[in-house]
Chain A
Amino acid sequence: MYRLRLWSVRHARGLERVYKWVEGAMVGLDPVFSRLGYARVERPVALVERSVKTLLFDCEMCGQCVLSSTGMSCPMNCPKQLRNGPCGGVRPGGYCEVKPWMRCVWCDAWEGAQRMRNGAWIHEVLPPVDRSLKGSSSWLRVAREKAAERGHSETKSRARRIVAKAFAGARRNEPASAPLAEEPQSAVNREAQR
């Protein structure tokens, strides 16, 4: 919801904390998820994630959440889906070039970032979105990444490795933006499977 989304940016600091907490909980649940199998929990967790984040952020379930690096203003709501800052066409007063009735997602992101503890993350160069992950849970992806850092299985995908290397800074802050962990089939190309 547009109004709620603007509210979220105004409360970026509090939400940053809540969001970190949720992500932390997900990481903590890794043993449980691993036992149940990430493939099996994908669908229910994605459902919860979609409901909560659609309400608060107009989330599009890109599967690679970077809210903590974008002032809690979801970059997928930018009509150009930019991940690295505003385009050159922002209208006077901070309105969107493409949808003039809407606040520029990136002007909001900038304001949100000022309120956040890790606001400086907005300066990190983020990789392009992996479109095959649309519809999958970003929370589970973060959980898998943190587990992978502790030595679980790593991907053999050359593409993922070069992206993780070329965008090393982004991976440090937002592991889901350049993931390296093995993923269950159910987390890839979910839209295509529907």
Chain B
Amino acid sequence: MSVDPKDFSPGLNEWAPPPEGYSSGSRLERVLRQGRFAVTAELNPPDSADPEDVFEAARPLAEVVDAINATDASGANCHMSSIGICSLLTRAGYGTIYQISCRDRNRIAIQGDVLGAAAMGVRNVLCLTGDGVGVGDQPGAKPVFDLDSISLLRALKTMRDEGAFLSGRKISRPPPLFLGAAENPCVTPVEWRPERLAKKIEAGAEYIQTNYIFDMPVFEAFMARVRDLGLDKKVFILAGVGPLASPRAARWMRSNVPGIHIPEHVIERMEKAEKPGEEGKRICIELIQQIREIQGVAGVHVMAYRREHQVSEIILESGVLAGRRPVARRSRVQGQGRPAGEPRMEG
């Protein structure tokens, strides 16, 4: 099967069940199951109600990635919702990853949103616990955490495979989802992270996107254990990377953003550099090239917060695409394609 078809194609039968051996048939799932090195990237969600702002942010990413992650108020900061962004982009022909955090919504809201997203054509979801509200822009908000990332995975798997809500009520058209989760290989308790990964797979995860990897020895040890447990055969692991802006920004991130581990030598290298921004990009490219050599890694996930302009250079210069032209978006009809990202709602 080719990787060409879109997750959502107006005019085709949107309700066609996923092909044999696939959970969703999404573009990302096809790329991974065909054994190609997948590339995903995170979109900077706008603080705006203008759809054009979404397309503007997505356009440069779409050239070089297989799917675009729409974050769900990451760091507990409020932005346009993940489901809104995914719906807009999916309908315009982009491959998307719908991030769901357990921090802001209870099980009733989440299950309903998932059906809504699936009806809009969204196929890839990423189940997250979410950062505490205290680090965000509205620390007085009520933290929900009704589910956790692992029970959320199992709940969505139940919706998809059993065709039922957690209430037991039947779902007449179950959502064809490709289920993902996150993992943070470089933070405490590192010895237990591979076992926790196993638990996520057990709960239903089919792909994993990791948090930032800056510490190669720790990540390599993690992957060695993952291979020992045979987990790399059961799940596609996309390693998270990203360019650092400056030594100051790196230190700030390390102490203020939960779950970020940056070794001192990386920051020192940036301090010595003449142009820290360029050095941050260089480091990111080198990391991608090293990560790619590690057995069991199925792709990379680029998170370039406020450095989205660098994403395409990073991916192209790292050579991970190996000449492949990814298809986070293809024009609708060959020959008469509309300019990428032009909003036109259909169906």
Chain B residue with the shortest CB-CB distance to A111: B189
Interchain CA distance A102-B49 in the complex, whole Å: 40
Is there contact, CB below 8 Å, between B146 and A88? no
Is there contact, CB below 8 Å, between B151 and A89? no
User: Given that A89-B259, A110-B192, A162-B166 are known contacts, is A128 also in contact with B132, CB under 8 Å in the complex?
Assistant: no
Q: How far is the CB of A64 from chain B (nearest CB, A)?
A: 12
B187 to chain A: which residues have CB within 8 Å?
A: 88-90, 92
Chain A residue with the shortest CB-CB distance to B145: A80
Is there contact, CB below 8 Å, between B151 and A97? no
User: Given that A79-B132, A162-B158, A166-B155 are known contacts, is A94 also in contact with B166, CB under 8 Å in the complex?
Assistant: no
Report if B169 contacts A (CB, 8 A).
yes
Summarize A's interface: helix, strand, loop or mixed: loop
Q: Which of B50-58, B198-206, B300-308 is near enough to bind chain A?
A: B198-206
B129 to chain A: which residues have CB within 8 Å?
A: 80, 82, 87-88
Q: Which of A97, A125, A131 contacts B154 (CB 8 A)?
A: A125
For chain A, residues 135 to 194, give those with C-beta under 8 angstroms from any C-beta of chain B: 157-163, 165-167
- Chain B interface residues (CB < 8 Å from chain A): 102-103, 107, 129-132, 134, 143, 145-151, 154-155, 157-158, 162, 164-169, 182-184, 187-189, 192, 195-196, 198-199, 202-203, 211, 258-259, 261
A86 to chain B: which residues have CB within 8 Å?
A: 188-189, 192, 196
Report if A93 contacts B (CB, 8 A).
yes
Interchain CA distance A83-B146 in the complex, whole Å: 10
Report if A117 contacts B (CB, 8 A).
no
Q: Which of A79, A110, A128, A165 contacts B107 (CB 8 A)?
A: A128
- Chain A interface residues (CB < 8 Å from chain B): 79-94, 97-98, 104, 106-107, 110, 123, 125-128, 131, 157-163, 165-167
Shortest beta-carbon contacts, A-B, top 6: A158-B168, A89-B258, A84-B150, A88-B184, A98-B132, A162-B168
Q: Which of A80, A91, A158, A160 contacts B148 (CB 8 A)?
A: A80
Interchain CA distance A85-B181 in the complex, whole Å: 14
Is there contact, CB below 8 Å, between A107 and B188? yes
Chain A residue with the shortest CB-CB distance to B202: A125
Q: Which of A89, A93, A131, A159 contacts B168 (CB 8 A)?
A: A159
